[in-house]
């Protein structure tokens, strides 16, 4: 997910002067949440097709007082709820050091290796595999920014290669020693045109290989994934895959982000991923996707979609959201046996409080890192986080409602296996 997206905050200040009749009451008034939905079976999925979820922000949310429930309305560990809904893989992002010199977190879950261990252990305890998503940055890495970690800033290129290798190997060893069942490692996040501060593909390729080597030496059974964006740009993925091949980069999985409001058609996604799979013998997957179930913002921090200029190809509803997820799974399955699966991005990043109480939310975001960025990130990312820090930009793309109850669309991960018809008429 591109993190910045220029969050505009002025409106939130206006909202904060109004009192709220109660958050639960406000949510109950929503009319667009059906009790059940229909999902068409996805055809041709591999037996172990990945139905994944990235819940990297969940510990920061829990620390902020957020509670998650099961489908019966009882409090339950969200990892158990995900597993019961058919999720079989959990993705977690890892930043090297998302803290300032005083120990204040940059936000976005403050996801360092320790957080990944906590999340990974809970996923493993609930029978799900883990994808460790190394950004090799101290904060968000995406197509707009691939800033090298603070501690690596003044290193020579050769020294940076060594540090990337060591950090990957040591982090993985720590996670494995703690009992995390790592099935896949991402060497970089959305490294479409830059990686760990480098923009030259020869250097980027060498850095990819250092991360890959660390994974291979740790466990030959762990898949190595590289992750790119913007499949809709003509020729982009064929150029990247050809460059990786020429530079002899050792990897298993060519992964793409796919947000329907940014990244073109599903037919194109299938086509460009299948070309990489067929030409270079790689597995392919969608490492991030999401869709809106409501146009409403939940927490006083503007969401990434819907926005003017975007095309949203499904209804903005719980059923529309389920259809969007199901169709991305079908698009990956349509690449053939190379199609590994799909990860949904941050289905649990719900509000820490209602948008009518945004001033209280701001305190929680700053204290626990439960928003996309805190003010403390300004020292590392002054142009984006420093200006637009705040809350969740995807609470309307969650698979839980604003009070932590699963939306019916969460069940798409199990429904897609054999299809599901609503009992409600």
Q: Closest approach of Cβ 390 to Ca ion, in Å? A: 8
Binding to Ca ion (CB under 5 A) within 368-407 occurs at 392, 395
Round to whole Å and give the CA distance between 370 and 372: 7
3-class DSSP state for residue 271?
Answer: helix
Active-site choice (210, 288, 346, 366): 288
Cβ distance to Ca ion smaller for residue 282 or 301: 301
Q: Closest approach of Cβ 399 to Ca ion, in Å? A: 15
Task: Build a one-symbol-per-residue string for 6-45: x at contacts with Ca ion by CB under 5 A, - elsewhere.
Answer: ----------------------------------------
Strands 253-257 and 283-288, sheet pairing? parallel
Binding to Ca ion (CB under 5 A) within 109-138 occurs at none
Binder among 301, 326, 362, 405 for Ca ion (CB under 5 A): 301
Round to whole Å and give the CA distance between 252 and 93: 19
Cβ distance to Ca ion smaller for residue 206 or 370: 370
Cβ distance to Ca ion smaller for residue 299 or 327: 299
Tokens of 229: 């964006």
Cβ distance to Ca ion smaller for residue 146 or 392: 392
User: 10 Å Cβ neighbour count for 65?
Assistant: 11
Q: Closest approach of Cβ 100 to Ca ion, in Å? A: 24
What region does 324 belong to: left with phi over 0, alpha with psi -120 to 50, or beta?
alpha
| Residue 299 makes contact with Ca ion by CB under 5 A | yes
Is residue 242 among the annotated active site residues? Answer: no
Q: Closest approach of Cβ 153 to Ca ion, in Å? A: 32
What Rg do the C-alpha atoms of the chain give, in angstroms?
20
3-class DSSP state for residue 123?
Answer: helix
| Residue 297 makes contact with Ca ion by CB under 5 A | yes
Instruction: Identify whether the C-beta of residue 184 lies closer than 8 Å to the C-beta of residue 131.
Output: yes
Instruction: Identify whether the C-beta of residue 1 lies closer than 8 Å to the C-beta of residue 257.
Output: yes
| Residue 303 makes contact with Ca ion by CB under 5 A | yes
Cβ distance to Ca ion smaller for residue 297 or 346: 297
Is residue 190 among the annotated active site residues? Answer: yes
Query: How many residues of this chain interact with Ca ion, rule: CB under 5 A?
Result: 6
* DSSP β-bridge partners for residue 198: 195
Active site amino acids: 190, 288
Residues that bind Ca ion (CB under 5 A): 297, 299, 301, 303, 392, 395
């Amino acid at each position: 997910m591109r993190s910045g997206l220029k969050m505009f905050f002025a409106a939130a200040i206006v909202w904060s002067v109004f009192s709220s009749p109660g958050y639960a009451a406000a949510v109950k008034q929503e009319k667009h949440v059906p009790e059940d939905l229909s999902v068409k079976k996805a055809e041709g999925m591999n037996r172990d097709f990945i139905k994944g979820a990235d819940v990297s922000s969940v510990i920061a949310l829990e620390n902020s007082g957020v509670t998650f429930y099961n489908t019966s309305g009882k409090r339950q560990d969200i990892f158990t709820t995900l597993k019961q809904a058919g999720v079989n893989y959990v993705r977690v992002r890892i930043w090297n050091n998302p803290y300032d010199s005083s120990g204040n977190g940059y936000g976005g879950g403050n996801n360092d290796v320790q957080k990944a261990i906590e999340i990974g252990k809970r996923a493993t305890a609930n029978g799900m595999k883990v994808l460790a998503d190394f950004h090799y940055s101290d904060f968000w890495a995406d197509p707009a920014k691939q800033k090298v970690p603070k501690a690596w800033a003044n290193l020579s290129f050769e020294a940076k290669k060594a540090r990337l290798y060591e950090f990957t190997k040591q982090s993985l060893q720590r996670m494995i020693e703690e009992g995390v069942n790592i099935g896949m490692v991402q060497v970089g996040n959305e490294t479409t045109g830059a990686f760990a501060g480098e923009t030259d593909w020869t250097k980027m390729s060498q850095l990819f290989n250092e991360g890959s080597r660390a994974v291979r030496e740790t466990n030959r059974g762990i898949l190595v994934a590289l992750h790119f964006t913007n499949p809709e740009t003509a020729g982009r993925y064929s150029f990247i895959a050809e460059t990786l091949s020429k530079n002899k980069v050792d990897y298993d999985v060519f992964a793409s982000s796919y947000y329907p409001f940014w990244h073109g058609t599903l037919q194109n996604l299938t086509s460009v991923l299948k070309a990489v799979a067929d030409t270079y013998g790689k597995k392919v997957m969608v490492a991030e996707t999401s869709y809106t179930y409501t146009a409403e913002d939940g927490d006083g921090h503007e969401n990434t979609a819907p926005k003017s200029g975007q095309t949203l190809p499904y209804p903005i509803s719980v059923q529309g959201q389920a259809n969007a997820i199901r169709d991305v799974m079908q698009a990956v399955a349509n690449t053939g046996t190379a199609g590994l699966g799909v990860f949904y991005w941050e289905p649990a990043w719900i509000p820490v409080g209602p948008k009518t109480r945004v001033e209280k939310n701001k305190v929680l975001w700053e204290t626990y890192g439960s928003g996309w960025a805190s003010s403390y990130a300004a020292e590392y990312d002054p142009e984006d986080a420093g200006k637009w820090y705040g809350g969740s930009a995807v609470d309307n793309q969650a698979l839980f409602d604003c009070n932590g109850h699963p939306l019916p669309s969460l069940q798409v991960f199990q429904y897609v296996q054999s299809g599901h018809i609503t009992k409600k008429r």
